[in-house]
Amino acid sequence: MNLRLLTPLASRLSLRVGPDRVEASELVSSHLGVLVREEGAHYLEVIYPSEPVVAEGSAILLYLMGWGKSLQALNSYLLTGIGPAAFRGELIAKVLSLMAQDNAQIRIPFNRLTQWEFSRRLPVRHFLNHFISSPDSTILFCEWVLRQDLRTDRGKLENFLEGTVFFSHFARATQRIRIQDVAVA
Amino acid sequence: MSGPGNPGYDHLIPVLMPDAVVSNFGPVFGEWTADQIAAARKSFSYILIDSKLYSNCPNWTTVADALRPRDVGKDGKPKKETNLIGCKPLENVYLSVVQNFGDPSSWRTRVDVHNKKPERQSPRGTITTEDADSLHFSIVLNGLSPETYACLSSHPPVRTPDDERLKDVQVVREALENMRYLSVPYVDPEGNRTKQPCFAVESMSFAFAGKEEEFAGPEFFKNWEKEGERIRSLKSGQLNEDNMNIDNEDILWDDEEEEEEDTGDDDESRMDVTD
């Protein structure tokens, strides 16, 4: 049961499961992971590639059943992890970003025939407003930012906030990121 | 995107600028020309995210200022601090987000905007005036609560009656709090296979690499076995945070001298490795 609850999160958070675990074999047999190399019984290399279609399906599942149970399942799996000096800060950051993304997406009307609800471009302003709380409760975060006395070029900052983000899941980069990788992503 | 090969940040979220000209981009697969890279640089910005769980840095302005893209050196080769190849010269405003999930005593406010004029020279590289003043926009987020994150006050937006929705929000908050303070034993004293590690952590994998002494030197394995014996000697149910701490006086690590000399930013460097 826990594994079923974990699956929607695993595909979106780019979780890496140790190759000698039964969960890894389940993921490979379910086509969510790919065994790319094995050297006898000593070395197995499993990769978890970026899957936008799976991420969209996972986002719909999380939308329908809520994040709570899946996060509890993730916690129980983390308890079997190999130490507190792990990567929990990164995990929490990813969870928060995706929650904000989902939260923002469902508030924008969409066409079921031509669009995927959780895989659409989203204005940066809209994303940040759902990600970060405004210190002034009467206005949204981006409005609050624009009222601050910033050294940042105001025109360019507004242009940035009018830009769009596009992400439904995280993917792991295995090498130094280039600007063209950002564009292709 | 996230990855261990990009020092300085944990995650990068691409931002497509409103006046982007996508037709000038290069192919999905294959090399890009200089013009195509310049077009991408003009059309894209990014949100850089760095999360801190253990750090108790007294000055978050420094951390926020240091969170920035760094290109290759003048010779065209990646430097140690290079984390985004081809990003210079910067064309657009970019956002740096530092998430501090750690020590509450270092918080001033829940949400803080930092883009004050930085020092000319930072520990991680030179900062130009143009870069720092007009194109860098950084935020420090402290804590893990609805006062900091808007998504925790209204999420998840499930299609259920309001009481269930509120209940799920509470479960989400508790789960994230548990994740933040999670303490995991390194070994299972009962030898229960189902409790063995599930998630791979690259920075720790060397500890389970085997007993090839040439891997890290004989001293390393002598210390490691000593620590293993100590942990195995603990009885079931007695593992707690106190006795999981490694006693540095008993174990002589190879780089002990270096660590003693470099105590100034020890918390910072440990943070980068483990988190």
B18 with B96, same domain: the answer is yes
B256 with B137, same domain: the answer is no
Which of A37-46, A50-59, A120-129, B260-269 has maximum average pLDDT?
A: A120-129
Looking at beta carbons, which residues of chain A come within 8 Å of B53?
88-89, 92
Q: Is residue B77 part of a domain?
A: yes
B92 with B159, same domain: the answer is no
B63 with B169, same domain: the answer is no
Q: Which value, to the nearest 10 degrees, does the dihedral of the CA atoms of residues B56, B61, B62, B67 take?
A: 100
Q: Is residue B48 part of a domain?
A: yes
- CA atoms of A55 and B264, how far apart (whole Å): 43
Q: Is residue B52 part of a domain?
A: yes
* Token code pair at residue B181: 């303070």
Q: Is residue B262 part of a domain?
A: yes
Over the stretch A106-122, which tens digit does the pLDDT of each residue have? 888 888 888 888 888 89
pTM, 2 dp: 0.73
B136 with B239, same domain: the answer is no
pLDDT over 70, % of chain B: 52
Higher-scoring residue by pLDDT: B156, B164: B164
Which of B162-166, B171-175, B207-211 has maximum average pLDDT?
A: B171-175
Do A183 and B40 lie within an 8 Å CB cutoff?
Answer: yes
pLDDT over 90, % of chain A: 15
Whether the predicted pLDDT of A5 surpasses 60 = yes
- Beta-bridge partner residues of B113: B139
Structural domains in chain B (count): 3
Looking at beta carbons, which residues of chain B come within 8 Å of A74?
175, 179
B264 with B224, same domain: the answer is yes
Whether the predicted pLDDT of B23 surpasses 70 = yes
B156 with B216, same domain: the answer is no
B127 with B159, same domain: the answer is no
Whether the predicted pLDDT of A125 surpasses 90 = yes
Domain extent at residue B168: 151-181
What's residue A83's pLDDT? 37
> Is B196 exposed, middle or buried (CB count within 10 Å of its CB: 0-12, 13-18, 19+)?
middle
3-state secondary structure of B161: coil
The shortest CB-CB distance from B2 to any of A90, A95, A165 is to A90
CA distance A183 to chain B (A): 6
B85 with B130, same domain: the answer is yes
B190 touches A: beta carbon within 8 Å:
no
| Distance of alpha carbon B18 from the chain centroid | 29
Whether the predicted pLDDT of A52 surpasses 50 = yes
- Please name the helix (run of DSSP H) or strand (run of DSSP E) that holds residue B16, with its range, or none: strand B11-16
Q: Is residue B2 part of a domain?
A: no
Over the stretch B30-63, which tens digit does the pLDDT of each residue have? 788 888 888 888 888 889 888 887 666 767 777 8
pLDDT over 90, % of chain B: 1
> Residues with Cβ < 8 Å from B3, sequence gap 6 or more?
A172, A173, A174, A175, A177
What's residue B219's pLDDT? 61
B134 touches A: beta carbon within 8 Å:
yes
- CA atoms of A81 and A62, how far apart (whole Å): 24
| Distance of alpha carbon B198 from the chain centroid | 21
Give the residue from A43, A150, A120 showing the smallest Cα distance to B136.
A150
HEC string of chain A equals: CHHHHHHHHHHHHCCCECCCCHHHHHHHHCCCCEEEEEECCCEEEEECCCCHHHHHHHHHHHHHHCCHHHHHHHHHHHCCCCCCCCCHHHHHHHHHHHHHHHHHHCCCCCCCCCCCCCCCCEEHHHHHHHHECCCCCCCCHHHHHHHCCCCCCHHHHHHHHHCEECCCCCCECCCCCEHHHHHHC
Q: Is residue B5 part of a domain?
A: no
Q: Is residue B3 part of a domain?
A: no
What is the predicted ipTM?
0.89
Over the stretch B208-266, which tens digit does the pLDDT of each residue have? 333 444 444 556 556 666 766 776 676 445 555 444 444 444 444 444 444 444 444 43
Whether the predicted pLDDT of B189 surpasses 70 = no
The single-letter code of the amino acid at B33 is T
- CA atoms of A55 and B231, how far apart (whole Å): 40
B40 with B103, same domain: the answer is yes
The shortest CB-CB distance from B13 to any of A67, A102, A165 is to A165
Whether the predicted pLDDT of A127 surpasses 90 = yes
B102 with B36, same domain: the answer is yes
Looking at beta carbons, which residues of chain B come within 8 Å of A7?
none
As a whole number, mean pLDDT of residues A21-47 equals 76
- CA atoms of A73 and A9, how far apart (whole Å): 10
B240 with B204, same domain: the answer is yes
Mean pLDDT of chain B: 67
B80 touches A: beta carbon within 8 Å:
no
